[in-house]
Structure 1
Amino acid sequence: MTSLVSSSPGTSPLVLDSPHSGTRYPADFGFACDLPRLRRAEDTHVEKLYDFAADLGVAWIEAHFPRSYLDANRNITEIDTTLFAEAWPDPVETDPQVLSKVRLGKGLIWRMTDDGIPIYERQLSVAEVRERIDRCWRPYHAAVAAAIEAAHARHGYSIHLNCHSMPAVASSHATEFPGEAHADFVIGNRDESTASRHLSLQICEHLTDLGYSVSYNHPYKGVELVRRHSDPARHRHSIQVEINRKLYMNEETLEITEGFAALQKSLQSLVALLLQTDPRAL
């Protein structure tokens, strides 16, 4: 069975991961909606934007499965029980804030596209969702955890960037702020619970100095990957980085545009800055 998760080890304190750029649609997906519409859920080309990381000694983890098949940035408790013909036997999230995203059709297993189109014309079985968790979610989180552990062991601290992209304008079922025009970057640390404020603001200031518009913890604060794998008190910092797709691609055709090279150069400068930054000294 082909692995749907890949990783490359690093030598630095920095770990990058891309959970949503996968384009391998498994044969057992069984979706019923239009594929081009479904593909707009991808963080398309994010893995290409950061393809310089390994050469700098930065650990890299990448999901090859699409987020609409299973969203690695959700907890396995974020289950939309309406997807099943049978009772889901495992724990289900009860936090109202988390459930608001599930109600939008964006739980661990997506029910809706970003513009509110149903993905399935069938009900799912408990067995197939458990298999997705075992094949996709568990190995992805294990790889991220191992990379952060190794980076921290080598240097006494770690900086984890959770790498994403976002549409220029929020769709109807993408966030709780439909129609909002996004900044060039959104930097999220779950209201400063997953990373140092000083480190996070240093990232914001660097990007602002490069000429980008930057939003902090709105409308994306960071979700499961930064929550689960951070511990700032022990010098394990996790920050979600959202990039506006208009900077580097055509959102309709998914084609890379001429802005890609300049954006990648900016990301290289950000990574270079972080490689020289010890958050314990901030």
Structure 2
Amino acid sequence: MKNFVHSVLSRGIRASLSAIQPPESAPAPPEDPLAPPPVVTLEGSRTSPIVLAAPHAGRYYPEWFTSTARQPLADLRSGEDSFTERLAQPAHDLGPALVHATFPRVLCDPNRAAWDLDPRMFQGPIPPFIRPTERGLSGLGSIPRITGSHRAIYRTRLPFSEAARRIATYWMPYHTTLAGLLRRTHQQHGQCLLLDLHSMPDTAEVGTADFVLGDRHGTACAPDIMERAEQTLRALGYSTARNTPYAGGYITQQYGHPPQNCHALQIEMRRSLYMTEATHTPHEGFEPLARSLAVLVGSLLEHLG
């Protein structure tokens, strides 16, 4: 597998990042001794070619962030994939490693390219390496401008140094950890499969699917793996869709290279299957869904074996 970190952060960009210093008028937030590490990794067995990841599971909202945000905490949590790392625990017990973010996506989104940012949300000069996509310009880049419910997060524009600080503090550790896990897994087995776990709201856009499987329209995962995943979920009684409306984000695109036996499959699970979305409270469907996720992983392990 190619060296992901160095492919994304070229020497020039890394030099630019290290050169940016927060101005005196916008000092870095004080360190919180109670803050969890930005990324948590639960090691798996050496017999598993699968890696589980939950990039949007983070539920730690720093006081320095919530106290200055324009929206209340309930709205800041609207895009959170609550408890996906807990749903993955029975699957992790089968052998795959599990990595998840503890920081929320509204603070920094690791499923976007590092410099996919909306320039309009910053004050002062913008470095030339910023590369906004359509999603970034809409406010949903690596440092989001809006919440999952499309409400403005900030009262004023941010200094760009704050974006650079968050990329260094949250985005980089997540991808360094995930890339390392996938590299070691591929070295051990000659193959690896990343299952990128997400949750989705009940909306007309989603339709009736309980699971949406995304492989970037066949470019990030071998067809037989997608087919096995879909067959397994349908045998368990779930409805499924492929790539609509979620084909996989930056993580799926970046780590899925089927010709190199590196596969990535994004798995979106309907939130109402396991929690009350309005209160972010797990309900009686939580344990059945967690068991079903373990069955899916067990089936894929057998298929890869």
Calculate the TM-score normalised by the size of structure 1: 0.90
- Identify the match of residue 52 of structure 1 among 67, 80, 90: 90
1:22 is matched with 58
Distance in 2, matches of 1:235 and 1:226, equals 14
Of 210, 226, 237, 2:236 maps to 210
**C-alpha displacement at 1:15, in angstroms?**
0.2
For the pair 1:266 / 2:292, whether they are aligned, the reply is yes
- The residue identity in structure 2 corresponding to 1:26 is P
Range with greater deviation from structure 2 (180-189 or 247-256): 180-189
What pairs up with 1:226-241 in 2 under 5 angstroms? Answer: 226-241=252-267
1:167 is aligned to: 201
Which residue among 81, 84, 88 is the counterpart of 2:119? 81
After the TM superposition, which residues 124-203 of structure 1 pair with which residues of structure 2 at under 5 Å, given as runs?
Answer: 124-169=158-203, 177=205, 180-181=206-207, 183-203=209-229
The answer for the alignment partner of 1:111 in structure 2 is 145
1:92-119 deviations in whole A, cap 9, x for unaligned?
Answer: 225xxx31x2233211111112222111
Structure 1: segments with no counterpart, 5+ residues: 171-176
Q: Which digits, 9 at most, give the CA deviation of each residue in 1:109-142, with x for residues without a partner?
A: 1111222211110111111111100111111011
Contact 1:81 1:87 in 2 (8 A): no
Letter in 1 for 2:246: Y
- More displaced, 216-225 or 44-53? 44-53
Identity of aligned residues (%): 35
* Number of residue pairs matched by the alignment: 267
Runs of 4 or more consecutive aligned structure 1 residues displaced over 6 Å after TM superposition: none
2:221 touches 2:265 (CA, 8 Å); kept in 1?
A: yes
Write the distance in 2 (CA, Å) between the matches of 1:19 and 1:217.
Answer: 19
CA distance in 1 between partners of 2:91 and 2:233 (Å): 18
1:173 corresponding residue in structure 2:
none
1:276, distance to aligned residue in structure 2 (A): 1.3
The 8 Å contact of residues 15 and 60 in structure 1, kept in 2 or not, is answered as yes
Q: Bigger CA drift: 126-135 or 51-60?
A: 51-60
- Partners of 1:182 and 1:42 lie apart in 2 by 21
- Find the residue that maps to 1:67 and give its secondary structure: coil
2:52/2:92 contact within 8 Å kept: no
**Contact 1:182–1:244 (CA<8 Å) still a contact in 2?**
no
RMSD (Å), alpha carbons: 1.6
Is the alpha carbon distance of 1:53 and 1:209 closer, same or farther for their aligned partners in structure 2, counting shifts above 3 Å? closer
After TM superposition, the score normalised by the length of structure 2 is: 0.84
Structure-1 separation of matches of 2:64 and 2:123 = 17
